[in-house]
Amino acid sequence: MAGGKVMSTNPLLELKALGQHIWLDNLSRTLLREGGLQRQITEDGIDGVTSNPSIFEKAIANGTYYREDLERLRGAGLDAEACYESLVIADIRAACAMLLPAFRASQGEVGYVSLEVSPALANDTVGTVAAARRLLHQVGLDNLLIKVPATPAGIEAFSRLTAEGISVNVTLIFSLAQYEAVAQAYLRGALRWLESGGQARHLRSVASIFLSRVDTLVDKRLAALGTMHAARLSGRAGIALAKCCHGRYRDIFHGPDIALLRLAGIRPQTPLWASTGNKNPAYGDLLYVEPLIGPESINTLPDATLAAFRNHGLAASKLREGLGDAQILLQALLELGIDLDAIGHSLQVDGVLLFAEAYQKILRGLQAESVTWTGQ
């Protein structure tokens, strides 16, 4: 390694040396049955998997390997949601098994698979806690992360689940304010877990900060202003948000307020870069990867972005560079009337809606299957 840069035939394999873990933002029975996930674990160093209702909606709609389970479920008297959970939990368990070596080798630092609670519970704290407990029991594996949205109700549920020793991936974070609320909820829950006699190293959590969706909306607002100054700020908000969140992460998890928790062995809640597939062809395909490589971080990549980094990515630590510039950029946006906290709220509402629509689409399809079965 020279000048902070690492050269390799497969640059994905060099990222661990720079302190970053790469997870796959996809899961399907095709990936599991045809060896795709195992190849990515072995050849690319993937040590985690994230999933969501949109991912499973596409997997179930387009996959051929679900037919066997669908036949097995025929006539079982399950409703559509129970059928869905039966299908996806089988995939989750299979992925967990593949990642168990990474989980054990890292002593529980990585090697996780994320499973999201129903999006219909996004504003229901009690329902989210109950669903998380039930899904954890059904999967029955230590390297599962229950995925909970960073809505106000979801954050309260997350704190309660952490206090019970349940490991959580907090998703749909779109602003620094939302990230702050999530990090503080983790500290509250972790403290209660320790006070109840829980083992510190049993806890694991990540905070999933969505990036490309931020730029998509901010760029629309900038384009509407129609000035050269606004144009120069385009495509930069997502990266600036990530760098500011990681700066705040360092303040919180390496600062005095968590000193006693760290002495007790509590792991910091790792920032995870999500929504990292570039949606604007005018920008590079690694816009949300290369500038955010660095220690104490995770990047979850869709297949196309993973392949792009494998093909022409440069493994160089840049995450901690330019924090001051990132803060200046967010202030410049605010001065133009673009408040990222307000945008974050709007994007979170939209994100919950998109996942709920995907979830309902799955259930409608499974309900149609059930009607066909009972009519035979």
pLDDT in tens, 22-43: 999 999 999 999 999 999 999 9
What length is written for the chain? 376
Check pLDDT > 70 for residue 371: no
How far from 138 is each of 41, 152, 221, 339, CA to CA, in Å? Answer: 25, 26, 44, 41
* Contact assessment for residue 47 and residue 100, using Cβ atoms and an 8 Å cutoff: no
CA 95 to chain centroid, in Å, comes to 16
Check pLDDT > 80 for residue 140: yes
Dihedral pair phi/psi, residue 319, rounded to 5°: -60, -40
| Exposure of 92 in the CB half-sphere (CA atoms within 13 A) | 30
Position 305 confidence tier, pLDDT thresholds 50, 70, 90: very high
From the list 241, 211, 235, the residue with the least C-alpha distance to 223 is 235
Q: Return the residue matching tokens 């993973």.
A: 306
How far from 24 is each of 118, 169, 175, 253, 364, CA to CA, in Å? Answer: 21, 14, 23, 25, 27
Position 374 confidence tier, pLDDT thresholds 50, 70, 90: very low
Check pLDDT > 50 for residue 359: yes
* Contact assessment for residue 245 and residue 268, using Cβ atoms and an 8 Å cutoff: no
The pTM score is: 0.94
Query: What is the distance between the alpha carbons of residues 115 and 337, in angstroms, rounded to a whole number?
Result: 37
Whole-number pLDDT of residue 273: 98
Query: What is the distance between the alpha carbons of residues 205 and 182, in angstroms, rounded to a whole number?
Result: 10
Whole-number pLDDT of residue 1: 43
Position 63 confidence tier, pLDDT thresholds 50, 70, 90: confident
Check pLDDT > 50 for residue 6: no
Query: What is the distance between the alpha carbons of residues 319 and 102, in angstroms, rounded to a whole number?
Result: 24
**Worst-scoring range by mean pLDDT, 4-18, 90-104, 285-299, 340-354?**
4-18
Check pLDDT > 60 for residue 143: yes
pLDDT in tens, 222-281: 999 999 999 999 999 999 999 999 999 999 999 987 888 888 999 999 999 999 998 888
* Contact assessment for residue 181 and residue 144, using Cβ atoms and an 8 Å cutoff: no
Residues 6 or more apart whose Cβ sits within 8 Å of residue 313: 11, 12, 286, 289, 290
Whole-number pLDDT of residue 260: 84
Check pLDDT > 70 for residue 201: yes
Query: What is the distance between the alpha carbons of residues 159 and 156, in angstroms, rounded to a whole number?
Result: 5
Q: DSSP character for 22?
A: E
The percentage of residues in the chain with a pLDDT greater than 70, rounded to a whole number, is 95
Check pLDDT > 70 for residue 88: yes
Whole-number pLDDT of residue 369: 62
Q: Which structure tokens are listed for 160?
A: 């309660």
Whole-number pLDDT of residue 9: 85
The average pLDDT across 342-367 equals 93
The average pLDDT across 107-128 equals 97
The answer to whether 243 is a known catalytic residue is no
Whole-number pLDDT of residue 370: 53
Whole-number pLDDT of residue 156: 98
Domains (ranges, CATH) in the chain?
12-368 (3.20.20.70)
The average pLDDT across 350-365 equals 93
Q: Which structure tokens are listed for 85?
A: 């959970």
The average pLDDT across 343-370 equals 90
Query: What is the distance between the alpha carbons of residues 168 and 206, in angstroms, rounded to a whole number?
Result: 7
List the catalytic residue out of 16, 58, 147, 318. 147
* Contact assessment for residue 59 and residue 30, using Cβ atoms and an 8 Å cutoff: yes
Check pLDDT > 80 for residue 96: yes
Average pLDDT, the chain: 93
3-state secondary structure of 26: coil
More confident residue, 9 or 89: 89
Position 376 confidence tier, pLDDT thresholds 50, 70, 90: very low
Whole-number pLDDT of residue 61: 87
